[in-house]
Amino acid sequence: MSPISISPRPPEGEHSIRSFRRTFAWTCAVLLVLCGIFLTLGYLQGPKLSSAQVDVDAVVSSSDQTLRLFANQTLASVEAGAVTVEPDAAATVSSEGDLVSVQFAEALDYNTEYTVTVEGVMSPSGGSESTLDYSFTTGEPQLYYLDRGEPNDEIVKTALSSQDRTVLFSGEGIQEFVPVGDVLAVTTAAADRAGTLTLVNPETAVSEQVLLPEEGEVADLDATSSGSLLGFTISSLDPGPISAVSHTLYTMDVDRGRDVVAVTDLDGEPMRVVGWQFVPDSTTIVALTTESTLVRVDTTSGLVVPLGGYFEFDRVSADGSTVVVVDARGSASVTLSDGAELRLFPSLIGDEQPFLGQTDADVAGNLVAKMVLVSEDGGSFSSVLAFDDGEQSRILYQTVDDKGAILDFQVSPNNQFVAVEVQPNVSNFDSDEYVVNPRPQSVTTYLVEIATGTVTRSVEGFGFLWR
């Protein structure tokens, strides 16, 4: 019998190790093949949009807001002219890593769907170019106004695209109001003009009267459009030969307590003002002092920067770029960043040369202004609200048969609309006889689209605020 040769059987552990190694090797090979396939597909198809971020409320309230587009891979530098926006809006584009940033030069229109397209997007290693597309719908502001009536005055909130009317607070003798933080700041005045400042929470109906540093007339309310900083003036009822308080400017941060703080002037003393306003979307103050000095005040540091000498304060532009003031030579627009002055002269309306009144001047030099047209014989005149692009003025609003009066106006933060306060017929003198800030009993505010001159809606009241 021949001997039988039997190979020794590998130990059980060694067999398992070999099996694992074979499986691991096959798995790695498959994964490498798959990665190669995906890399090839990505190379051929180009980068794709994975997510996007944009604040739909911020883009309608201020310029230089940013849409962030995130790709599924690192990107090569995007060309400057690669971005388009529909409807048309000026924008710039930049990229870093997997992020493409699209910055809008101006505030966008309300309640509008925008589509942003970035072309020529590709990987740093080359491959196919692709296009990133993203669409979003912008927000719209809350609108506030005051409707004086019997027996109570009402502070009302509404919306741009809705006829809904919500009464936030009602009371007697409301002079002014402004929303600030989560509350409404409301002023009233007694028969001797002595004022009160009350903070009202519209959600809880809880109100509290603010302890003021002096007794006097409380007026010129304004507040930051975001945040909780409130400002107002107190004027002495009987200033006497040496005024202790006369048009003194104060601020109060309603989220940090009830401390009323005087704004200080260049000399470190409390600032007394002819007019003042917060720069939209900031805590910076622009004021014209009673010494005829226009100043910019950083409320955080207290730094006061003089911008020139004038004697009448009109308004800070809705886009926060300029302030319109008046001196012996007429109206001027002063750039808030550097104090540069531009003299304002209205363009022709048709063939007629108008006279300029209250004016909002944006960063591009466009004007929304009250203008007066005088007949050739000087026997009659028309008061209109007009838009002036520097070459021609066109009428935005004119009262029926020129019987009414345009009392005031407020341009929206994105320069899309203007709220126009109108007394329909000036032949009927119907003052409400309030001791501070008296107004006609019949005041209607019309919302007018600046691009077309179309009246989109109206409300019975005044003191319109965009928030």
Shared domain for 211 and 116, answered yes or no, is no
Token pair of 394 as six digits: 């066109």
pLDDT bin (cut points 50, 70, 90) of residue 236 is: confident
Is the confidence at residue 11, as pLDDT, over 80? no
Higher pLDDT, 190 or 17: 190
End-of-domain residue from the set 309, 330, 360: 309
Q: What is the CATH number of the domain that holds 106?
A: 2.60.40.1220
Angle at 316 between CA 167 and CA 287, to 5 degrees: 105
Shared domain for 96 and 220, answered yes or no, is no
Find the radius of gyration of the CA atoms of the chain: 32
Range of the domain at 115: 49-137
In a domain, 293, yes or no: yes
Shared domain for 98 and 186, answered yes or no, is no
Q: Kindly report whether the peptide bond that precedes residue 424 is cis, defined as omega within 30 degrees of 0.
A: no
Q: What is the mean pLDDT of the chain?
A: 91
Number of folded domains in the chain? 2
pLDDT in tens, 70-123: 999 999 999 999 999 999 999 999 999 999 999 999 999 999 999 999 999 999
For residue 253, give the nearest of 226, 231, 276 by alpha carbon: 231
- Residue 59 carries which DSSP code? G
Shared domain for 183 and 303, answered yes or no, is yes
pLDDT bin (cut points 50, 70, 90) of residue 1 is: very low
pLDDT in tens, 263-297: 999 999 999 999 999 999 999 999 999 999 999 99
Shared domain for 122 and 220, answered yes or no, is no
pLDDT in tens, 301-352: 999 999 999 999 999 999 999 999 999 999 999 999 999 999 999 999 999 9
Is the confidence at residue 202, as pLDDT, over 50? yes
**Backbone torsions φ then ψ of 380, nearest 5 degrees:** -150, 160
Shared domain for 178 and 125, answered yes or no, is no
In a domain, 65, yes or no: yes
In a domain, 393, yes or no: no
End-of-domain residue from the set 254, 281, 309: 309
In a domain, 333, yes or no: no
Q: Residue 237: what pLDDT? A: 82
Shared domain for 190 and 270, answered yes or no, is yes
As separate numbers, helices (DSSP H) first and strands (DSSP E) second, the chain gives 1, 35
Q: What is the CATH number of the domain that holds 222?
A: 2.130.10.10
Residue by residue, what is the 3-state secondary structure of 405-423? EEEEEEECCCCCEEEEEEE
In a domain, 251, yes or no: yes
Shared domain for 177 and 102, answered yes or no, is no
End-of-domain residue from the set 276, 309, 342: 309
In a domain, 29, yes or no: no
Shared domain for 187 and 133, answered yes or no, is no
| DSSP-based three-state secondary structure for 12 | helix
For residue 375, give the nearest of 352, 405, 400, 348 by alpha carbon: 352
For residue 95, give the nearest of 119, 60, 112 by alpha carbon: 119
Shared domain for 178 and 251, answered yes or no, is yes
Shared domain for 117 and 178, answered yes or no, is no
Is the confidence at residue 391, as pLDDT, over 70? yes
Q: Kindly report whether the peptide bond that precedes residue 87 is cis, defined as omega within 30 degrees of 0.
A: yes
Contact 305, 247 (CB under 8 A): no
Shared domain for 178 and 98, answered yes or no, is no
